[in-house]
Amino acid sequence: MKNLFLSAAIVLGTLTSFASTSPITTTSLKTISVQDEYTEVKLEEVPVAITDALKKAYPTAVLAKAFKNANSEYKLEVTVGDKTGNLFANADGTWIKK
């Protein structure tokens, strides 16, 4: 019986010596945001087609700021009630999803 316990202890001892730990790896995540260059324009410079489309889609919206990029796309900062958000539109008043 002693031999059985002794052999079991020896077997378990050798098995644990072969056990290895896996190295800890750290994963890093890099976020790259691509943003078009928009420059601020006066609210009077926003095309009528865009302001009409804004009034039609969001009747209670207030246009706070407007920005324009090289492709004549407009970024509009709009306030509806207590919420503020951005809308994107072409010069002809069609909405762009970004």
What SS3 class is residue 38? Answer: coil
**45 and 66 Cβ atoms separated by less than 8 Å:** yes
Look at 90 and 27; give whichever has higher pLDDT. Answer: 90
**For 52-81, what is the mean pLDDT?**
93
pTM (2 decimals)? Answer: 0.62
Residue 54 has pLDDT above 90, yes or no: yes
Q: Can you give the pLDDT at residue 41? A: 95
DSSP-assigned letter for residue 79: E
Task: Give the pLDDT mean for 39-52.
Answer: 95
pLDDT band at 36 (very low <50, low <70, confident <90, very high): low
pLDDT recorded at residue 10:
66
Which percentage of the chain shows pLDDT scores above 70?
65
